[in-house]
Structure 1
Amino acid sequence: MHLSIVAAETAHKTAVVFGDTRISYGALDAASRRIAVSSRHCGLSRGDVMGVMMATGPEVVAAIAAAQRSGLYCLPLAPKLTPSELQYILKDSGAKLLVTDRDNEEKASAAAVDIPDLTVSSLVGIDHLFELEECPNDPDPVEGGDILYTSGTTGLPKGVRRPLGFKPIGSDLKRAERLRNLFAMDADTVFFSPAPLHHAAPLRFSMDLLRLGGTLVLNAHFDAKAALRLLVRERVTHSQWVPTMFTRLLAERDENFSAPSHRVAIHAGAPCPVELKREMISWWGPILHEYYSGTESIGFTHITSEEWLKKVGSVGRPSGCDIHILNDEAEPLPAGQRGKVFFSGREVVSYHNDPKKTAAARSPQGYSTMGDLGYVDADGYLFLTDRDAFTIISGGVNVYPREVEEAISTDSRVAEAAVFGSPDNDLGEVVTAVVELQRDYEPTLETAKMIRERLRAHLSPHKLPRKLAFVDQMPLTHSGKIHKARLRNSWESHCEHVYERTALDE
Structure 2
Amino acid sequence: MTVMGLWNIAEEYPDSVAVVDPDGHEMTYRELASAADRIGRGLQSRGLEPGDSIVLMLTNGADLLAAYFAALQTGLYVVTVNWHLVADEVAYIIDDSAAKAFFAHEDFTGVAADAAARSDLPAAARWSVGEIPGFRPLAELGADEPVERPDVRTAGSPMLYTSGTTGRPKGVRRPLTGADPDEVPERSRGFFALFGLEPFDGHVHLCGSPMYHTAVLNFVSISIQLGHTAVLMGRWDAEEMLRLVDRHRVTHSHMVPTQFHRLLALSEQVRARYDVSSLRAVVHGAAPCPPEVKRRMLEWWGPVIIEYYAATEGGGTSIGAEEWLSKPGSVGRAWPGSVVRVLGEDGAELPPGEVGTVYMRMHGSSFEYHGDADKTRKSHVGDLFTLGDVGYLDEDDYLYLCDRKSDMIISGGVNIYPAEVENALAVHPQIADVAVFGVPNDDWGEEVKAVVQVAEDTAGGQHLADELMEFARRRLAKFKLPKSIDFTPELPRDPNGKLSRRKLRDPYWAHRDQAI
TM-score range, shorter chain: 0.7 to 0.9
Matched with 2:351 is 334
Alpha-carbon shift at residue 471 of structure 1 (Å): 7.4
* Higher alpha-carbon deviation: 166-175 or 217-226: 166-175
Counterparts in 2 of 1:332 and 1:23: CA distance versus 1, 3 Å: same
Matched, 1:275 2:292: yes
Matched with 1:231 is 245
2:71–2:156 CA contact under 8 A, matched in 1: yes
Matched with 1:367 is 384
Matched, 1:38 2:38: no
1:246–1:280 CA contact under 8 A, matched in 2: yes
Take 2:129 and 2:509, find their aligned partners in 1: how far apart are those partners? 47
1:236–1:261 CA contact under 8 A, matched in 2: yes
Matched with 2:328 is 312
After the TM superposition, which residues 405-444 of structure 1 pair with which residues of structure 2 at under 5 Å, given as runs? Answer: 423=422, 425=426, 426-427=432-433, 429=435
2:440–2:512 CA contact under 8 A, matched in 1: no
After the TM superposition, which residues 256-295 of structure 1 pair with which residues of structure 2 at under 5 Å, given as runs? Answer: 256=272, 257-295=274-312
SS class of match (1:279): helix
Take 2:81 and 2:285, find their aligned partners in 1: how far apart are those partners? 21
2:175–2:367 CA contact under 8 A, matched in 1: no
Matched, 1:73 2:85: no
Q: What RMSD over aligned residues (CA atoms) do the two structures have, in Å?
A: 3.2
Alpha-carbon shift at residue 185 of structure 1 (Å): 3.4
Match of 1:2 among 2, 5, 18: 5
Matched with 2:340 is 323
Matched with 2:114 is 110
Match of 1:150 among 162, 178, 190: 162
Per-residue Cα deviation, 1:174-199 (whole angstroms, up to 9, x for no partner): 12332134332321210011001000
Take 1:368 and 1:20, find their aligned partners in 2: how far apart are those partners? 42
Matched, 1:241 2:255: yes
Matched with 2:456 is none
Paired amino acid for 2:405: D
Matched with 2:488 is none
SS class of match (1:50): strand
Per-residue Cα deviation, 1:254-280 (whole angstroms, up to 9, x for no partner): 352431211111100100011111111
After the TM superposition, which residues 392-407 of structure 1 pair with which residues of structure 2 at under 5 Å, given as runs? Answer: none
SS class of match (1:473): helix
Note the residue ranges of structure 1 that are not aligned, 5 or more in a row. 393-419, 436-454, 456-460, 477-481, 483-506
Per-residue Cα deviation, 1:354-409 (whole angstroms, up to 9, x for no partner): 1111111101x3211111111111111111112112399xxxxxxxxxxxxxxxxx
Counterparts in 2 of 1:350 and 1:127: CA distance versus 1, 3 Å: closer
SS class of match (1:291): strand
Paired amino acid for 1:473: R
Take 1:62 and 1:22, find their aligned partners in 2: how far apart are those partners? 14
Alpha-carbon shift at residue 167 of structure 1 (Å): 1.5
Matched, 1:221 2:224: no
Matched, 1:473 2:489: no
Take 2:83 and 2:408, find their aligned partners in 1: how far apart are those partners? 22
1:432–1:465 CA contact under 8 A, matched in 2: no
1:434–1:470 CA contact under 8 A, matched in 2: yes
Take 1:214 and 1:472, find their aligned partners in 2: how far apart are those partners? 52
* Higher alpha-carbon deviation: 160-169 or 108-117: 108-117
Counterparts in 2 of 1:95 and 1:428: CA distance versus 1, 3 Å: farther
Counterparts in 2 of 1:17 and 1:465: CA distance versus 1, 3 Å: same
1:271–1:428 CA contact under 8 A, matched in 2: no
Paired amino acid for 1:215: T
Take 1:472 and 1:4, find their aligned partners in 2: how far apart are those partners? 57
SS class of match (2:401): strand
Take 1:433 and 1:199, find their aligned partners in 2: how far apart are those partners? 30
1:325–1:376 CA contact under 8 A, matched in 2: yes
SS class of match (1:389): helix
Matched with 1:350 is 368
After the TM superposition, which residues 164-243 of structure 1 pair with which residues of structure 2 at under 5 Å, given as runs? Answer: 164-171=176-183, 172-187=185-200, 188-243=202-257
Take 1:356 and 1:73, find their aligned partners in 2: how far apart are those partners? 22
Counterparts in 2 of 1:434 and 1:224: CA distance versus 1, 3 Å: farther
TM-score (normalised: structure 1): 0.77
Counterparts in 2 of 1:153 and 1:79: CA distance versus 1, 3 Å: closer
Matched with 2:95 is 91
SS class of match (1:51): strand
Matched with 1:162 is 174
Matched with 1:415 is none
Alpha-carbon shift at residue 117 of structure 1 (Å): 4.1
SS class of match (2:406): coil
Take 1:385 and 1:280, find their aligned partners in 2: how far apart are those partners? 22
SS class of match (2:59): coil
SS class of match (2:380): coil
Counterparts in 2 of 1:203 and 1:428: CA distance versus 1, 3 Å: farther
Per-residue Cα deviation, 1:278-313 (whole angstroms, up to 9, x for no partner): 11111111110000002222x111100000000000
Per-residue Cα deviation, 1:406-434 (whole angstroms, up to 9, x for no partner): xxxxxxxxxxxxxx999484455389998
Take 2:289 and 2:332, find their aligned partners in 1: how far apart are those partners? 13
2:41–2:142 CA contact under 8 A, matched in 1: no
Matched with 1:389 is 406
Counterparts in 2 of 1:82 and 1:128: CA distance versus 1, 3 Å: closer
Counting matched residue pairs gives 424
After the TM superposition, which residues 126-145 of structure 1 pair with which residues of structure 2 at under 5 Å, given as runs? Answer: 126-127=138-139, 135-145=147-157
SS class of match (1:177): helix
Alpha-carbon shift at residue 329 of structure 1 (Å): 0.1
SS class of match (2:20): strand
Matched, 1:120 2:126: yes
Alpha-carbon shift at residue 226 of structure 1 (Å): 0.5
Matched with 1:11 is 14
Take 1:6 and 1:427, find their aligned partners in 2: how far apart are those partners? 43
1:430–1:465 CA contact under 8 A, matched in 2: no
Paired amino acid for 1:214: H
Alpha-carbon shift at residue 465 of structure 1 (Å): 4.1
Paired amino acid for 2:19: V
Counterparts in 2 of 1:102 and 1:117: CA distance versus 1, 3 Å: closer
Paired amino acid for 2:225: R
Paired amino acid for 2:325: L
* Higher alpha-carbon deviation: 42-51 or 179-188: 179-188
1:349–1:368 CA contact under 8 A, matched in 2: no
Paired amino acid for 1:170: D
Alpha-carbon shift at residue 128 of structure 1 (Å): 8.4
* Higher alpha-carbon deviation: 76-85 or 267-276: 76-85
Counterparts in 2 of 1:329 and 1:218: CA distance versus 1, 3 Å: same
Paired amino acid for 1:161: R
Paired amino acid for 2:347: A
% identity of equivalent residues: 35
